[in-house]
Amino acid sequence: MEKILRTIEKIIPKKIYHFFQPFYHLLLAITGTIIYRKPSRHIYVIGITGTKGKSSTAEFINAVLESAGKKTAILSTIRFKVGDKTQPNKYKMTMPGRFFTQKFIRDAVTAHCDYAIIEMTSEGARFFRHTGIELDALIFTNLSPEHIESHGSFAKYKACKLRLIKQLEKSKKPLRLSIANIDNEHAPSFLISPIEKNIGYSLKDANILSETNTTSIINYKGTHITIPLPGKFNISNALAALTLSSELGIPIDDAKKGIESLSLIRGRVERVDCGQNFTVIVDYAHTDDSLRKLYETFPSSRKIAVLGSTGGGRDSWKRPVLGKIADKYCDEIIITNEDPYDEDPIKIINDVARGVTQHTPIIIINRREAIRKALELARAGDTVLITGKGTDPCIMGPHGTKEVWDDATVVREELENIKK
């Protein structure tokens, strides 16, 4: 199907192709809803949207629900899970098309899951992949500039996100719930919906008792909870799950147990430990805000950054901005390949390097070699931060080519090679 669409795109003038493309995707969404017999009517559906934190919030919610004895399904950037069966998301997109989401919900219903947790993106909304999903709850994590070149402007990007709150409004579910992070300035747009309940959550809801580069401890409504992942952004993600669990009537002890059980989220502040005397972190951070917050999570150690940026007309404006942030927070900076698509990787790397003015960046196109160099430079107590891909299953090259990839796996392989 993808090959057919690429051929059609080459033949038909761009303006005509892009004009009819949304109608094609809308038709697919409606058809999928009919084929799979409107499955979202038969399960509690939790949508999660925002620029950052969606996957982590989904995992926190899943952990809390499972701790309460509920059977769950997850569709996220990281994985697809239905009950006890899980598989990594290898599509390089959060909400795959071609009926995928409707089939996923139907599978969750067939497996007698109590909840379906669905990460919902602006690109998914743009191509109507949310159409036909009757939501019970929508969680908004935050909003900041991303996918600007794809959408055309930040206003259009936000408008696609707001399609999701409209989808909640249209839902026929009896007790619709909107939960939004009021620490973000765009939260009010997600809390004015004429539904049964609108709830805000904030870092102010938790008394932060301690923070380290491995965990945080909070007092939430009189209960001490250890969040086994670092950073205020993960406290916020956990608070989204705690707010939802409270509305669902889940006992706080179950919620606490669930939060504290989540020691690893793949590609999200993921620690790779092979016995080395320094810290290695693999993280999906690919926006200026997420990169800044990641670096701020490790304030006291010497930091070695491995970063790049995506090609193919994807937010090229942010490349020097990412370089500038690395320049501010890190001691060694290695700029490398990420996903060039049909763009010259050297140009992308040079664009990132333009933001680095206080250090001399090391330029290594080959991502494996860049990671190896960072590990070789690391000394006891250092932190190596490898960003941009997280759990991405491949490096996208020209003409649709793909190189199978996993940052964490490469780190382990190179650490073993260094030991030899």
pLDDT for the residue 246? 98
Question: Rounded to whole angstroms, how far apart are CA atoms 17 and 26?
Answer: 15
* 394 neighbors 403 (Cβ within 8 angstroms): yes
pLDDT for the residue 25? 82
309: Cβ contacts below 8 Å, ≥ 6 apart = 286, 315, 316, 318, 319, 322, 338, 348, 351, 352, 388
Domains and CATH numbers, the chain: 2-261 (3.40.1190.10), 270-419 (3.90.190.20)
Long-range contacts from 201-206, C-beta under 8 angstroms, 24+ separation = 201/236, 201/239, 201/240, 201/242, 201/243, 202/239, 203/232, 203/235, 203/236, 203/239, 205/239, 205/243, 206/235, 206/239
**Low-confidence stretches of the chain (pLDDT beneath 50):** 1-2
Comparing C-alpha atoms, which of 266, 272, 219, 283 is closest to residue 59?
Answer: 266
Q: Which residue has the tokens 């399960």?
A: 43
The torsion region of residue 231 among left (phi > 0), alpha (psi -120 to 50) and beta comes to left
Question: Rounded to whole angstroms, how far apart are CA atoms 213 and 226?
Answer: 13
pLDDT for the residue 8? 60
Element (H, E) at 57: helix 54-67
pLDDT for the residue 2? 47
Question: Rounded to whole angstroms, how far apart are CA atoms 97 and 224?
Answer: 42
What predicted TM-score, i.e. pTM, was given to this entire model? Answer: 0.94
pLDDT for the residue 365? 98
pLDDT for the residue 146? 86
106-156 pLDDT, tens digit per residue, is 999 999 999 999 999 998 999 889 999 999 999 999 999 888 878 889 999
What secondary structure does DSSP assign to 251-285, as a single string? -HHHHHHHHHH----TTSSEE--SS-SSEEEEE--
